[in-house]
């Protein structure tokens, strides 16, 4: 099993959600996050005083998938979240050892 963590533009969340539903992904966890990669922050002015805000609000989508689904999901997210400009975000993949469904302690892919 693989964990997919996609940090995307907040404005692209709906598109990503729809694209994932279309390929049959059933569950996800969405978080509001702040951070920065290569995209620099923005400046704000309060009474002429300049503040640089370098942690930009982003949205993070987390999925845990059976390995066969991973490439399809990565494709779906990439296409849906892309604008082609700096700041589109990143997708991180990592191995997941096990999954436990709390309701009945079912384990492994069947619990996804």
Partner 1 sequence: MNKSRTFVLIAALWLVLPVACMTQTAQAQTASPTPAPAGTQTPDPQNDRLVKIEQQIADAKSSADNAWMLTSSALVLMMTGPGLALFYGGLVRKKNVLATMMQSFAMMAIVTTTWAIFGYTLAFGDGGSFIGGLHNLFLKGVGAAPDTAYAATIPAQTFMVYQLMFAIITPALITGAFAERMKFSAMAAFMVLWSIVVYSPMAHMVWGKNGLLNASLGGRFPTLDFAGGTVVHITSGVSALVCALYMGKRVGYPKQNMPPHSVVLSFIGACLLWVGWFGFNAGSALGAGSLATSAFVATHFAAATAALGWGAAEWFRNGKPSALGAISGAVAGLVAITPAAGFVGPMSALAIGLIAGVFCYFMVAKVKARFGYDDTLDAFGVHGAGGTIGALLTGLFANSMVNPMFKDAKGNTMASGWLEGNAHQMLNQLVGVVIAWVLAAVGTIVILKLVDMTIGLRVSEEEEIQGLDLSQHGEEGYYYEVST
Residue 13-52 contact track with partner 1, rule CB under 8 A, x = bound: -------------------------------xxxxxx-xx
34-68 burial, b at 16+ Cβ within 10 Å, e below that, comes to eeeeebeeeeeeeeeeeeeeeebebbbbebbbeee
Which residues neighbour 92 within 8 Å (Cβ) at sequence distance 6 or greater? 4, 5, 6, 7
110 binds partner 1 (CB under 8 A): no
Q: How far is the CB of 80 from partner 1 (least distance, A)?
A: 31
Q: How far is the CB of 58 from partner 1 (least distance, A)?
A: 19
53 binds partner 1 (CB under 8 A): yes
Q: Which residues bind partner 1 (CB under 8 A)?
A: 44-49, 51-53
């Amino acid at each position: 099993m693989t964990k997919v963590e996609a940090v995307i533009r907040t404005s692209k969340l709906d598109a990503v959600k729809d694209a994932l539903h279309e390929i049959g992904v059933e569950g996800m966890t969405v978080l509001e996050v702040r951070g920065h990669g290569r995209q620099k922050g923005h400046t704000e002015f309060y009474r002429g005083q300049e503040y640089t805000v370098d942690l930009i609000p982003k949205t993070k989508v987390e999925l845990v998938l059976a390995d066969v689904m991973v490439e399809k999901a990565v494709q779906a997210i990439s296409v849906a979240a892309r604008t082609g400009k700096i700041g589109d975000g990143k997708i991180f993949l990592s191995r997941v050892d096990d999954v436990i469904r709390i309701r009945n302690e079912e384990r492994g892919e069947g619990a996804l």
